[in-house]
Chain A
Amino acid sequence: MKKNRSQARDIMLSVISILLLVAVWFLVSGSRPDFFPTPMATVERFIRLIEKPIMGVSVFGHVLASLRRVMLALIASIILGIGIGLVMGWNKKVRAAINPILMALRPIPPIAWIPLIILMFGVDEFPKVLLVFIGSFFPIVMNTMSGVALVDDMYLKVGKIYKAKTWQMLRHVVFPAAMPTILAGIKIAISSGWMVVVAAEMLSSRSGLGFLINRGRDSYDVALIMVAMILIGVVGALLSAVFTLIERKMCGWMSKE
């Protein structure tokens, strides 16, 4: 009962703050509607966008194009990041060998890679996915590594007592114990990948939300820019909400609060 009531209160507060934001937007845009479109104009632009595709792709097609790039890159960084992180966390020698490389590469922001990647791979699909991969790989590999390295010694001892073989130890003890940390890494990777994909698409692209922003800039269509930005925000928030559900499902055993 009590929980329900505080939940209702939280939802109310969220709605109020969003309404406030829209109100501020109204006020600000009221003075120069040609320069900064009102919420109404933005909604209108959104409806027009649904009716009239750009580059032969509907607005949802553009969202999907961005999502597709992120998903491809995420699959690669999840497989490689967890694989490499697992070995690094488990084996101190491997960690000592690879860690310096990671430490040196990690601080380089994905945007700094852009010129190099364009020179090497052009401006096709692959370089965009590669950029998103660079943005999403590091959080996964780092979290997996530290999650595995920090598995409670007690659980390892239990595994040893029951004579778990190395792969059984990894699969039945180390991996589940590190799972919350790994999932936290994937969550960071998703939001970072979503940011990078927009940057990559603004570079050169014929589809995606970043492309829509570019198109808005080139044709001085500020409302289109606003629509694309809001979509980026909303889809990003949805991605993270969906992943939180997955996380809860997979780590229901973790004590909350």
Chain B
Amino acid sequence: MENQEIKVQVNHLTKRFGDLLVLDDVSFNIKKGEFVCIVGPTGCGKTTFLNLLTRLIEPTEGEILIDGEPADPKKHSISFVFQEPSAFPWLTAQQNIEYGLKIKKRPAEEIAAQTEKIISLLGLEKYRHAYPHEMSVSMEQRVVIGRAFALNPDLLLMDEPYGQMDIKMRYYLEDEVVRLWKATGSTVLFITHNLEEATYLAERVLVLTNKPAKIKANIEVDLPRPRKVSDPEFIRIRKEITEMIKWW
């Protein structure tokens, strides 16, 4: 039973680029429907790890299992929100959200229903026919997040999606991603530099060391939602994470 719950299993994952060791024997599990944040210093190998998960690059050693099988984009449904906004500029907001569904040749009714659901969850009704160049960066990133959630992915990877946004927009989008996660039941792996963001979002925070990256700590965040950044328990956990990385 316990095993069935596990969505992603990372076993002894190692990645070298030539002589450069980036990931050093990393192992951990992610449960189905879990929201996990990964924090780590700049350049420690976070993006590399996500690229391994999606098989954009191959591991040097070790394996990644999704539902007990080697990770395979052909079999598993994985979505990705990149660090930089990556909406297709030639598609409108709505067409961008439909994109993954269309590529996968889902039935037309499903595409329409799912797209509507995401558009209304994101409150994008007014902007559905807008092109990315007519949007702000944060709006574009929301469209990309909508595109990723629309597929109801087994696994959703988000690589510092809010890195370029101001605090106010960030707070707003953090609530939004939690709402989408709850509504779709996806398993989310969210990378961030921002410890407060990690504490706010995650059920569990994985802290990575400096390059070559290892897992330094695994911190459960068992706080009710919506969370309050001023809650003493919230502050305690954020400080605990901060302690782990003081030497960055």
State which of B56, B73, B82, B131 has its C-beta within 8 Å of the C-beta of A253. Answer: B131
A252–B82 touching, CB < 8 Å: no
- Closest A residue to B96 by beta carbon equals A158
The majority secondary structure among interface residues of chain B is: loop
- Closest B residue to A159 by beta carbon equals B103
How many chain B residues touch A (CB < 8 A): the figure is 24
State which of A158, A160, A173, A252 has its C-beta within 8 Å of the C-beta of B131. Answer: A252
- Given the interface pairs A164-B103, A172-B99, the reply to whether A158 lies near B89 with Cβ below 8 Å is no
B86–A154 touching, CB < 8 Å: yes
- Closest A residue to B87 by beta carbon equals A158
Q: Is A9 an interface residue (CB 8 A)?
A: no
- Closest A residue to B79 by beta carbon equals A161
The interface residues of chain B lying within 8 Å CB-to-CB of A157 are 56, 80, 82, 86
Chain B 68-108, CB-CB to A under 8 Å as 1, else 0, gives 00000110001110101010111110000001101110000
- Given the interface pairs A161-B78, A162-B100, A172-B99, the reply to whether A179 lies near B90 with Cβ below 8 Å is yes
- Residues of A161-211 at the interface with B, using a CB-CB cut-off of 8 Å, are 161-164, 168, 172-173, 176-177, 179
- Given the interface pairs A162-B99, A168-B103, the reply to whether A253 lies near B78 with Cβ below 8 Å is no
State which of B74, B79, B90 has its C-beta within 8 Å of the C-beta of A176. Answer: B90
The interface residues of chain B lying within 8 Å CB-to-CB of A251 are 90
The interface residues of chain A lying within 8 Å CB-to-CB of B102 are 172
Q: Is A254 an interface residue (CB 8 A)?
A: yes
Q: Is A255 an interface residue (CB 8 A)?
A: yes
- Residues of A112-148 at the interface with B, using a CB-CB cut-off of 8 Å, are none
Q: Is A155 an interface residue (CB 8 A)?
A: yes
State which of A168, A173, A252 has its C-beta within 8 Å of the C-beta of B88. Answer: A173
The interface residues of chain B lying within 8 Å CB-to-CB of A163 are 73-74, 103-104
A163 to B151, CA, bound (A): 12
The interface residues of chain A lying within 8 Å CB-to-CB of B104 are 162-163
- Closest B residue to A175 by beta carbon equals B90
Instruction: Write the nearest CB–CB distance from A151 to chain B, whole angstroms.
Output: 11
State which of A154, A162, A173 has its C-beta within 8 Å of the C-beta of B82. Answer: A154
19 A–B pairs (Cβ distance < 8 Å), ordered by A: A154-B82, A157-B56, A157-B86, A158-B86, A158-B88, A160-B54, A160-B73, A161-B79, A161-B80, A162-B99, A162-B104, A164-B103, A168-B103, A172-B102, A173-B88, A252-B131, A253-B91, A253-B131, A254-B89
User: Measuring CB to CB, which residues of chain A are less than 8 angstroms from any residue of chain B?
Assistant: 154-155, 157-164, 168, 172-173, 176-177, 179, 251-255
